[in-house]
Amino acid sequence: MTPTTTRTRTTTALAASAAALALIPAGGASAAVVKGLQDQEMTVNNPTLTGAFLSAAQEAKVGFVRFNTRWDGKSTVVDPGQVAAIKAFAQQAPSRGVTAIEIAPNVSGDESFNPRRKKGPTAASKIDVSAYRVYIRSLADQLKAIPVARYYAPLNEPNWYRHIPKRGAGTVYRKLHNTAYEQIKAVDPKAKVLFGELLPYERAKSKSYPYGQSSDAGTFVREVLGLKSNWKAKGGTKTSSYRVKADGVALHTYDFKADPRKKRKDRDDWTQANLGYAKSDLRKAARTKRLPSAAASRIYLTEFAYKTAGSDKISTSRASTYLKRAWSIAKKYKVRTFLWYQLRDPSSSDEIWQSGLQTRDGGSRKTWTTFRGLR
| Domain 41-311 bears CATH identifier 3.20.20 | yes
205 pLDDT tier (thresholds 50, 70, 90) = confident
CB atoms within 10 A of CB 257: 13
Query: Looking at residue 37, what is its pLDDT?
Result: 98
Q: What is the pLDDT of residues 134-151, one digit of tens each?
A: 999 999 999 999 999 999
Query: By the 8 A CB rule, do 374 and 360 touch?
Result: no
159 or 14: whose pLDDT is higher? 159
> Angle CA(363)–CA(97)–CA(101) in degrees, nearest 5?
90
pLDDT tens profile 332-370: 999 999 999 999 999 998 899 999 999 999 999 999 999
User: Which whole number is the average pLDDT over 38-50?
Assistant: 97
Looking at every residue in the chain, the average pLDDT score rounds to 93
Q: What is the pTM of this model?
A: 0.92
Task: Give residue 30's pLDDT.
Answer: 55
Domain range list for the chain: 41-311
Cα Rg of the chain, angstroms: 20
Confidence of residue 228 (pLDDT cuts 50, 70, 90): very high
Q: Which helix H or strand E contains 326, and what residues bound it?
A: helix 316-332
CA 249 vs CA 157, 201, 296: distances in Å: 12, 16, 6
β-pairing, 100-107 vs 64-71, is parallel
